[in-house]
Amino acid sequence: MGRFTLFLSLASLAVPSFALTNRQLGNDVTYDYVVVGGGTAGLAIAARLAESPDVTIAVVEAGGHYETEGGPLSIIPGFAGTANTGTDPSDVSPIDWNFVAEPLAEANNRELRYARGKTLGGSSARHYMVYQRGTKGTYDQWADITGDSSWEWDSVLPYFKKSCELTPVNMTGRFDNTSVTYNPAAFDPAGAPLQVTWPNFGSPFSTYVETGLESIGVLSSTDFNSGNLNGSAWASITINPQSQKRDSSETSFLNSAVRNSSPLQVYEHTMATRLLFDGTTATGVLVESAGVPFTINARKEVIVSAGAFQSPQLLMVSGIGPRDILESHNIPVLQDLPGVGQNLWDHPMFGVVHVVNLVTTTRLLFDPPSLAEAFMEYSVQQGPLTSPGFGVLGWERLPSDKLTDSAKEDLEAFPADWPEVEYLSVDGILDGWHSAADQLVGHGEQYASIAAALVAPLSRGNISISSANAHDAPIINLNYLEHPTDQEVAIAAVKRLRAAWKGAAISIGPEYSPGEEVQTDEEILEFLRESISPVFHAAGTCAMGKASDPNAVVDSNAKVFGINRLRVVDASIMPTLPAGHPQSSIYMVAEKIAAEILNGN
């Protein structure tokens, strides 16, 4: 079978497995609950509410099906890095909002594109599928911040377990030295519908990264789903264990709801433009589809799940937010909430890159026979395309002698079990992550990166609006490296990456990036300013908190302060961003708030 023919046959896998219900465009409609945003949290909470036979639910989603509109690149894990998720403003995707953040003052005024899913599944259709949980102290701190003990680790663990089904690794197609470590007790055999497992391929490079991390004291065989992040392991990811395709909130929660004939109506390619109120009570959402405006009314509640950028934007254009911002755009102030759009957390990353003497996924870009072989292997659920381009992850609290006393004092704001740095094995070049074209260097050499992310960042960004029109992109201020302790931790992390490379027991060529000439702290910081990029973990912009906290936007049950029948349920309500990858926590939040709603809270 030719490569092109095989690619077309793989594209046939993209047909969605369900049909959406009919919509009455132009006619006002009414449901019990209206969920704005069919992303990670939105589809999860909608599907759980739909398990009640006595309610009706509408989901409003600006995009459509990523399987058809994004094609195989959005389905096959091995193409996650080539699916237009780069930071170059030209690296656009039809299933993405293609936002471009404001110039980074502490990163040489670089303007970074920030990938966000505009599709059913949201960013669960765009990310690298990592599934791991934060530390116990993270959620215990949430309980302190909100004044609600139900956010403690022991209380939220059942919601983590409820959302997903774990399938043990299939070692048939993996090398013997790629065995995984996990704690079966961290999962529930009855959990569903999200699928969590390991790919049928273990990156050879990751085995060396595991050795390199051990050489600097980041020991292997850690479980990342039991409330501890201190060490390294092969990462579990959200893929279907049988098909080895991406498992998103669409293919899991929405498909499950449709299979169960739930009372769930999805309005695809429909844009929510404004929330509607009777006084301070939410009554519905003004939407547009194919240029036609109409109203979707809510008998019980409106639930905003539009993500860390657009949930605060939708609140602001609807009159809820900082008074000065609203008045500057002639938006009548319904509720003055200064915290809307503030407290933006994210995890910036960077890498040290070498030429290596083993096969990485770089070869797929240079060697057509290797790509054809990878396609053939994937057609039987094997080979490198089952993996999203990495294997081993690690976390650590930096050794005490790597930081100044001032930095250590700043980092005491985090719980004692919270790591400062995440390490990632990357089968390719991570040097600013502009686009997949970053890999097109050299003359067929194989490249690999050991990357680091700041997972205890002290810099905070914010979200604002440029107009009262929801169609206009929000103003995104990431503010990476603004806090001097973030700069210090990042410099220390680069030195740790170089030490891990030396201990990796692998034959390597010259350092491609940042390059051996970059040695002093000042030179390393300049490298970071030119190469730092997002891990795309934006959160915190409608943060939960106590009523006495002037910067809190929602209470511990996700209800917007001062407004009746309105909640926000997505990553924006996280008061802090857990270390690592937040998708598990987003599903947990959706599960917990759905249960609160069904229990009358």
Domain boundaries defined on the chain: 3-67+250-344+541-598, 76-111+166-247+346-462+477-534
Determine whether domain 3-67+250-344+541-598 maps to CATH 3.50.50.60.
yes
Structure token pair of residue 371: 């790509």
Strands 335-336, 320-321: pairing is parallel
Mean pLDDT calculated for residue range 137-158: 98
Find the distance separating the first CA and the last CA of the chain, reported in whole Å: 57
In this predicted model, what pLDDT tens digit does every residue of 261-299 receive, in sequence order?
888 999 999 999 999 999 999 999 999 999 999 999 999
Mean pLDDT calculated for residue range 432-459: 94
Contact 574, 585 (CB under 8 A): yes
Contact 477, 344 (CB under 8 A): yes
Other CB atoms within 10 Å distance of the CB of residue 59 = 31
pLDDT at 254: 98
Nearest to 87 by CA among 433, 378, 359: 433
Q: What residues pair up with 120 in beta bridges, in sequence order? A: 65
Sign of CA dihedral 515, 521, 522, 524: positive
Residue corresponding to tokens 């429909």 = 270
> What letter does residue 465 receive in the DSSP assignment?
-
From the number of C-beta atoms within 10 Å of its C-beta (0-12, 13-18, 19+), residue 4 rates as exposed
Q: What percent of the chain has pLDDT over 70?
A: 96
pLDDT at 25: 63
In this predicted model, what pLDDT tens digit does every residue of 182-222 receive, in sequence order?
999 999 999 999 999 999 999 999 999 999 999 999 999 88
> Is 537 an annotated catalytic residue?
yes
Confidence of residue 106 (pLDDT cuts 50, 70, 90): very high
CATH class of 76-111+166-247+346-462+477-534: alpha beta
In this predicted model, what pLDDT tens digit does every residue of 4-31 receive, in sequence order?
344 434 444 444 444 344 455 678 999 9
Nearest to 450 by CA among 515, 401, 504: 504
Set 65, 347, 537, 581: catalytic member: 537
Spatial distance between the Cα atoms of 575 and 555, rounded to a whole number of angstroms: 11
Confidence of residue 35 (pLDDT cuts 50, 70, 90): very high
Contact 140, 417 (CB under 8 A): no
Q: What is the CA radius of gyration of the chain?
A: 23
Other CB atoms within 10 Å distance of the CB of residue 183 = 14
Confidence of residue 364 (pLDDT cuts 50, 70, 90): confident
- As a residue count, the chain comes to 601
Query: Taking 50 as the threshold, does the pLDDT of residue 250 lie above it?
Result: yes
HSE at residue 72, side-chain half, CA atoms within 13 A, is 16
This prediction has a pTM of: 0.96
Cα→Cα distances 494→169, 407, 474, 531, Å? 32, 16, 32, 12
In this predicted model, what pLDDT tens digit does every residue of 389-401 receive, in sequence order?
999 999 999 999 9
Confidence of residue 301 (pLDDT cuts 50, 70, 90): very high
What's the chain's average pLDDT? Answer: 94
Give alpha helix (H) positions in 269-411: 307-317, 323-328, 363-366, 368-378, 405-410
Nearest to 425 by CA among 208, 229, 120: 208
Spatial distance between the Cα atoms of 365 and 44, rounded to a whole number of angstroms: 36
> Which SS3 state, helix, strand or coil, does residue 360 take?
coil
